[in-house]
Structure 1
Amino acid sequence: MAMRRFGVAIVLSVILMAAFAAGLSAAKRGISVGEWLSVPFSDASFAKRWGYGETNGARNVISADRAQQRNGKPTLRLDTNSGFDCWVYFPNTKDWDIDLSKAKVMRGYLRSENKNGWGGDPWIIFVDMAGRKARFDGLKQRLYDAINDWTEIVVPVGADLDAKCAEYGWKAQISPGFDWKHISCVQIHQDTDGSGYTMWYSGFEFIDYAGRTIKWWLSSINKPDLSVTYAEQVPQYKRYIASEPDPNYNIPELVGSAATEKHWPNEGEQIKYLVHIKNAGFARSKPTDFVCMIDGKVVKKASLPALAPHQVTTIVVNWKWKQGPYQFAASVDTKNKLDEITKKNNTLRFKTDAYVLVAVCEKSIVAPIEQVNNWYGSFCFEDWMRGATIDQLNSLFKRCKYDFAPNGAEVSVRLGKIFLVDELPDDGAKIGEIDKGLGLYIFDGVWHYPLRAIHEWCDLANDFDWALNHELSHQLGIIDDYQYDMGPDSNLVNHKAYDRGPGGIMGGGQVGDNVYPAYADVDIAGFNLTKGHRRGFFGEYLYCIPYKNTLVLSIDGRPLADKDIEIYQKSMYTGKIEAPPVFTGKTDAEGRFPLANRPVPKDFTTATGCTLHANPWGYPDVVGRNGLFLIRTQVDGKWYYGFIDIGRFVCEYARGHKDNAVYSVKLMPE
């Protein structure tokens, strides 16, 4: 049975701690309703409190299996058609807050049916209440041992990890600051050859150094859950609507009325935010308070009435517009009096000048998504949307840092509206008509969420959805970085391939020291070079090329001195590199070769501040299709080659080298 929303606490046939335990519960958990337990947390009666995740949109079902038993007891079962990383986790609310600092191990049993064979050992991830992780990769063949037979796994926890990992066969990766005293959940991962398998879990519990089972807390979800889901700005002005008036070049311009339209409120203009608040829980909420602050100042206080499950209310917040990134924060239950499923969704935060994204969703996706717990620890569709998109993008903006961007991308996004429609057909023209009818031109970006992708939406409710955030980045104007790449068959000069990797989420570029998933250097440059403007353009940051550009060429660390070179450019029309070269000439004694500027159709500055001017690339295609040079030279009868892409030029511009930039290129033998 797939995971379902449920409105009553799970009835467990277990022995609870008596009056002392109840007192301990109250002392430790404050107002939270729940139970102290000592049975294995993989007991089949907890099936509805387990969650799942998967990276490729597979169908996953967690259920209690009374047919497959261990020690005479039903077991927990996962059925999946996954061919990639798939995992289960407990508890699905990610609010365990269990203290494992003095525990010795986690012990449990696995059994599987898998016709494909396994992709190595399982790996286990513990997540603390701050979101930091402790990962344990297995060094044995326990998944193979578990085929058609129960096999024990023992995973180190707490202190003395080096010794315990050596004893039990694990390799640990512990995030800095990881807190074993406050564990929110545990994940059990497995990967398979082929696709599709069944896994059973039984007897999972934590053991102390005396061999005793450690008691644990399970919170009830028969509670309310107030979520401040999103805020609509009224009025919301149009994004830029660029067109390409010259059929020979895709130069994005604002023409006609688009050139004079208003895109932001005027300074001091009276606007309002419609703040949506939903009880996403399974019990009626009590009356509480609402406070909204902008730029650190209280702009609205209100009383929030009691809300029935799934009831939504709206509070209007008035504000006189100020241009800039002012912090908006709307909160409910500011004194923390309510006992809820989660408190993580009690506050909505965004910057007032954030790019505004909108979601167009089939109505039928709401119910299945609300069966799966999400990033916020809730069962709320709107929280899922925020967690999977807005929060992921804003996190990437902040943490993807480069020497020219020590603060990452200085932009942000917010959720402006969710539209629910009856159907999203698999037809671009019909989707366009739906979008036109909804008036989506006022938003900076839009994405569509059809029912046919429901397994992807559910599987990645607690993980980074690479494809979704890649596409949303396109909505913000960032191109596919793989446009710079080229296979050997497309290089008609020397048949050498170019791949700039290791790439970021846009399919290329270089991510430096950033941890995956990440934006590449040129992506962050693109965001920062166009910040402070609305969106509606695409790839126009490729116009940001220094006015003077010099290559410094070398072979085996030595300058390519006084040698003839030839430079070829990838065609935006054919995707190939072929003769004739766009540059020929000779390097100087230091291997330097200045690149001449080539003409462009016209000098032009976009509404986002990017200037097209004469440069070595000629007209830089905003999609990136002609953004690659091949450099060749012959030394002592032997050919050498190297590549450079336009992304390096844009990054130099972002470093402040707008007038003059130098690029080192190491040549390799053909």
Structure 2
Amino acid sequence: MKRSFTIALLVFQLILAGLAFADTLELKDGTIIKDCYVRDEGVDLVVWKKLADVGTPNYVVYPRSKVKQFHIQRDEAWDKHPNLPDLSVTFIEINPKLAGLHGRVDYDKWGRPILKGGSILDLGEETAMRPEDAVKNLKLKYSPGEEITLTAHVKNLGFATAKPFGYSWLIDGKELKSGVYGKPLKEMEEVTFPLKWKWQDGFHKVTFSIKTDQPQIATINDSATDPLWAFAFTFTVAKGRVEAWHQNRTAYGTFSFEDYYRWHLDIMNKLFEASKFPSSPEGIKARVRLDRIVYADDVEKAIANLVAPDGIRYDQGGWNWIDDQDRNKKWESPSKEWRNATEWSLPHELGHQLGLTDWYVLDYGGDENHVWPDTGEKVAHFQNHPVQMMHWHGPHLYGEVDAGYLNMTWDKPRGHFGDFYFAIPENNYLRIVDINGLGVAGAKVEIFQRGCVVDKGAEPGEDHGVKYYPVVEDGNFDLPLSKDPVIVGETNEDGIIRLPNRPVKEVRTLNGFHRKPNPFGNINVVGQRGDMLVKVAKYGRPVYFWLEIYDFNVAWFRGQKDNFTIVLKTPYGSTSSPLPPRSVKAEQEGENRVRISWSAPEIVREQQYLDRPIGYRVYRRLGSDCLNDRPWFPVATLGPEAREFVVDMTQYPEDIYWFSKTNRFAVSTIGELSVESELVETVLQQNTK
């Protein structure tokens, strides 16, 4: 009986061994790679083909464009503790430290960021315009030839004692110093290695590497390379949390809190390099590095101690791990789902430490004062380029404004936030055009703004013939779209209106940005005032567009600092347009089909070639956003005898329809030279895909 039980147990164990599993990666070419280990780094995936290779350079890199999907699922073998050491270069510290400005930027009721407190000089009201003088007593950069101390921290993150090992220091790949650490290093024990170096300006990199013949859990952490021009971050964490993370393997490939979160800074730098746009063709030159880990018994006290006696933090930001586990002094290992994936929230949150804002602040669900006349839906807006790191956490690049900002300020102390909103061209124009791209003359333009209320008791101003209305300035920017317009004017004979530069309380930041009179007025650094709704009215037909400050910032960073024009396309017809179709209708036919029908234009002038229809064009539009957010897109171009068309509802641009998927359809008459009539619209009463 006992022998039978032993055999059965052995068979069961063999079955379990056969069921061992890991990740699955599917490529777009149909290739499926099973039982691998995937590490997501945003623009690409690092893939180990077997567990024995995890933590080594024996991996394959797949560009994200080649990947269809992947699924992370790991068995108990992933977390088994090997009886091996694991030497890791956890961080390289630099001393003396440079001053940062975190906690030293104050905001007044006009939203001006003004340096204040600590050893920053108080220049009174002049501080707002003289930030360089206010910080003249702070050490903000190293001088060429100045001696600094680089200190590499090496820690044994394995589960066995490490034998003596060699090490080397390199600057820009050239070895400066090498040696041997002649003592064993126990599990979780740390040792440091200092190096004196005379500072050199420029884009230099430091590398510290360890060398050992002893087998280790991983070797990818045997070396650390830091850009010396990078922003220095501090991590503050409880010792108990670090120990809890040591119990399990992470996505990085080691049993380590330090390796996992340092890896996220490497990911940020990789994304910086890949964030290439017309204004940043080489990507973002700024970098980040881990300058210090504060291992704390009391995290709250350690965070408070980051502020020096002179009231200044001597880093450029960082991250603090603190929650109820720290307060209760009971730490748990992170969940499998958490530690085996990339923590995409961290590159986003650390972006804030560098001064980047949440672009999702520009998302706006609308309000009752501004609705579409055909449906009564609120006029909504979703940020123009949401698939970027600072709008959504995820494997995304940083956006073009973020790139321009960091490229302009890579050598400035961190602490300012969102001052890039002040980067607005000097002269800004709207060009209102019709369906054929021709200017709409004499159109009334009213512009409403989020984050403010019009001051009814103040006199309006005027700039280049366009009126602007003062708003209440009480420091409250968390307000809906203004009920009353802040700008009112009319287009000229070319369909152009110049946006007025509204008066502001001026301010300059140490980053080099200057809030001057501009169309957005006293734009605040969080960005609520960065949305303006444009109502264009002619022929008794109002249409709506959004102006988003992001576009103005992009223009400025692309070099359009003097003049910038935004073209807004209306559904209006031209002087030479044919007459429009009549009686446009949309009727549902089954789940995914809609029949659009219409009648021919009325014949007003016999044999008039401008009125001769040569065809019709059918359009569709989705959502409650404005015409420049989710524009009309053509679904069919037909001959002159057509009077209906069946639309396949499953075919439409894969855009983001966050607030509504209301379907609108329109038909235009096509005349000679493909000149179109105005669009005649109808709404499908039932919302469908």
**Structure 1 and Structure 2 fold alike (TM over 0.5):** yes
SS in 2 for 1:566: strand
Cα distance change on mapping 1:612 and 1:458 into 2, 3 Å: farther
SS in 1 for 2:341: coil
1:566 aligns with 2:470: no
- 1:546-586 Cα deviation digits (max 9, x unpaired): 11222233354534511221111112524211243222222
1:295 aligns with 2:172: yes
- 1:30-52 Cα deviation digits (max 9, x unpaired): xxxxxxxxxxxxxxxxxxxxxxx
Cα shift at 1:318: 0.7
The residue number in structure 1 matching 2:565 is 662
The residue number in structure 2 matching 1:111 is none
1:508 aligns with 2:391: yes
1:230 aligns with 2:230: no
The residue number in structure 2 matching 1:355 is 231
The question of whether the paired residues in 2 share the 8 Å contact of 1:483 and 1:624 is answered with yes
The question of whether the paired residues in 1 share the 8 Å contact of 2:79 and 2:249 is answered with no
1:251 aligns with 2:109: no
1:634 aligns with 2:514: no
Cα distance change on mapping 1:449 and 1:432 into 2, 3 Å: closer
Q: Indicate which of 319, 330, 334 corresponds to 1:447.
A: 319
The residue number in structure 2 matching 1:99 is none
Cα shift at 1:89: 3.2
Cα shift at 1:286: 3.0
Q: Which moved more, 1:125-134 or 1:313-322?
A: 125-134
The residue number in structure 1 matching 2:428 is 549
- 1:304-324 Cα deviation digits (max 9, x unpaired): 234222221101011111233
The question of whether the paired residues in 2 share the 8 Å contact of 1:344 and 1:376 is answered with no
**Alpha-carbon distance between aligned partners in 2 of 1:498 and 1:551, rounded to the nearest angstrom:** 19
Cα shift at 1:607: 1.0
1:486 aligns with 2:364: yes
Cα distance change on mapping 1:133 and 1:360 into 2, 3 Å: closer
Cα shift at 1:499: 0.6
**Alpha-carbon distance between aligned partners in 1 of 2:40 and 2:339, rounded to the nearest angstrom:** 18
1:151-190 alignment runs, 5 A limit: 175=63, 188-189=71-72
The residue number in structure 1 matching 2:676 is none
Q: Indicate which of 609, 612, 627 corresponds to 2:515.
A: 612
**Alpha-carbon distance between aligned partners in 1 of 2:336 and 2:234, rounded to the nearest angstrom:** 19
**Alpha-carbon distance between aligned partners in 1 of 2:365 and 2:135, rounded to the nearest angstrom:** 40
Cα distance change on mapping 1:431 and 1:302 into 2, 3 Å: closer
**Alpha-carbon distance between aligned partners in 1 of 2:306 and 2:316, rounded to the nearest angstrom:** 13
The residue number in structure 1 matching 2:678 is none
1:595 aligns with 2:499: yes
The residue number in structure 2 matching 1:391 is 266
The residue number in structure 2 matching 1:535 is 414
**Alpha-carbon distance between aligned partners in 2 of 1:556 and 1:74, rounded to the nearest angstrom:** 69
The residue number in structure 2 matching 1:371 is 247
**Alpha-carbon distance between aligned partners in 2 of 1:482 and 1:490, rounded to the nearest angstrom:** 21
Q: Counterpart amino acid of 1:295?
A: D
Cα distance change on mapping 1:408 and 1:557 into 2, 3 Å: farther
The question of whether the paired residues in 1 share the 8 Å contact of 2:23 and 2:38 is answered with no
**Alpha-carbon distance between aligned partners in 1 of 2:242 and 2:513, rounded to the nearest angstrom:** 41
**Alpha-carbon distance between aligned partners in 2 of 1:520 and 1:104, rounded to the nearest angstrom:** 32
**Alpha-carbon distance between aligned partners in 2 of 1:433 and 1:128, rounded to the nearest angstrom:** 34
SS in 1 for 2:113: coil
**Alpha-carbon distance between aligned partners in 1 of 2:161 and 2:559, rounded to the nearest angstrom:** 56
Q: Which moved more, 1:308-317 or 1:493-502?
A: 493-502
SS in 1 for 2:528: coil
1:89 aligns with 2:31: no
Q: Counterpart amino acid of 2:487?
A: F
Cα distance change on mapping 1:70 and 1:627 into 2, 3 Å: farther
Unmatched tracts of structure 1, length 5 or more? 1-65, 79-86, 95-102, 108-123, 136-172, 180-185, 191-199, 205-216
**Alpha-carbon distance between aligned partners in 2 of 1:490 and 1:635, rounded to the nearest angstrom:** 23
The question of whether the paired residues in 1 share the 8 Å contact of 2:165 and 2:181 is answered with yes
**Alpha-carbon distance between aligned partners in 1 of 2:272 and 2:333, rounded to the nearest angstrom:** 27
SS in 2 for 1:522: helix
Cα distance change on mapping 1:418 and 1:588 into 2, 3 Å: same
Q: Indicate which of 352, 358, 361 corresponds to 1:474.
A: 352
Cα distance change on mapping 1:296 and 1:496 into 2, 3 Å: same
The residue number in structure 2 matching 1:342 is 218
Share of identical aligned residues, percent?
Answer: 27
Q: Counterpart amino acid of 2:202?
A: G
Cα RMSD for the two superposed structures: 4.2
**Alpha-carbon distance between aligned partners in 2 of 1:177 and 1:584, rounded to the nearest angstrom:** 46
SS in 2 for 1:361: strand
1:526 aligns with 2:438: no
Cα distance change on mapping 1:659 and 1:361 into 2, 3 Å: same
Cα distance change on mapping 1:418 and 1:174 into 2, 3 Å: closer
**Alpha-carbon distance between aligned partners in 1 of 2:368 and 2:320, rounded to the nearest angstrom:** 34
**Alpha-carbon distance between aligned partners in 2 of 1:246 and 1:651, rounded to the nearest angstrom:** 27
Q: Indicate which of 366, 379, 385 corresponds to 1:496.
A: 379
The residue number in structure 2 matching 1:407 is 282
SS in 1 for 2:529: coil
After TM superposition, the score normalised by the length of structure 2 is 0.63
Cα shift at 1:490: 6.7
Cα shift at 1:240: 2.5
Cα distance change on mapping 1:640 and 1:310 into 2, 3 Å: same
SS in 1 for 2:267: helix
Q: Counterpart amino acid of 2:565?
A: V
The question of whether the paired residues in 2 share the 8 Å contact of 1:280 and 1:310 is answered with yes
**Alpha-carbon distance between aligned partners in 1 of 2:113 and 2:562, rounded to the nearest angstrom:** 23
**Alpha-carbon distance between aligned partners in 2 of 1:413 and 1:273, rounded to the nearest angstrom:** 16
The question of whether the paired residues in 2 share the 8 Å contact of 1:522 and 1:651 is answered with yes
1:317 aligns with 2:211: no
**Alpha-carbon distance between aligned partners in 1 of 2:308 and 2:144, rounded to the nearest angstrom:** 30
Cα shift at 1:277: 0.9
Cα distance change on mapping 1:371 and 1:74 into 2, 3 Å: farther
The question of whether the paired residues in 2 share the 8 Å contact of 1:75 and 1:201 is answered with no
Cα distance change on mapping 1:451 and 1:579 into 2, 3 Å: closer
Cα distance change on mapping 1:244 and 1:134 into 2, 3 Å: closer
SS in 1 for 2:101: coil
Q: Counterpart amino acid of 2:174?
A: K
**Alpha-carbon distance between aligned partners in 2 of 1:432 and 1:368, rounded to the nearest angstrom:** 20
Cα distance change on mapping 1:316 and 1:485 into 2, 3 Å: same
Cα distance change on mapping 1:252 and 1:664 into 2, 3 Å: farther
The residue number in structure 2 matching 1:183 is none
The question of whether the paired residues in 1 share the 8 Å contact of 2:110 and 2:522 is answered with no
- 1:329-385 Cα deviation digits (max 9, x unpaired): 11111xx74432211111111111211111111222112211222344221221122
Give 4+ residue runs of structure 1 displaced > 6 Å after superposition. 69-72, 124-131, 176-179, 217-220, 437-440
- 1:130-171 Cα deviation digits (max 9, x unpaired): 974799xxxxxxxxxxxxxxxxxxxxxxxxxxxxxxxxxxxx
Q: Indicate which of 280, 284, 309 corresponds to 2:157.
A: 280
Cα distance change on mapping 1:598 and 1:504 into 2, 3 Å: same
**Alpha-carbon distance between aligned partners in 1 of 2:534 and 2:395, rounded to the nearest angstrom:** 31
Q: Counterpart amino acid of 2:281?
A: P
Cα shift at 1:523: 2.3
The residue number in structure 2 matching 1:58 is none
The residue number in structure 2 matching 1:193 is none
1:419 aligns with 2:299: no
**Alpha-carbon distance between aligned partners in 2 of 1:441 and 1:394, rounded to the nearest angstrom:** 23
After TM superposition, the score normalised by the length of structure 1 is 0.65
The residue number in structure 2 matching 1:645 is 548
**Alpha-carbon distance between aligned partners in 2 of 1:341 and 1:481, rounded to the nearest angstrom:** 41
The residue number in structure 1 matching 2:644 is none
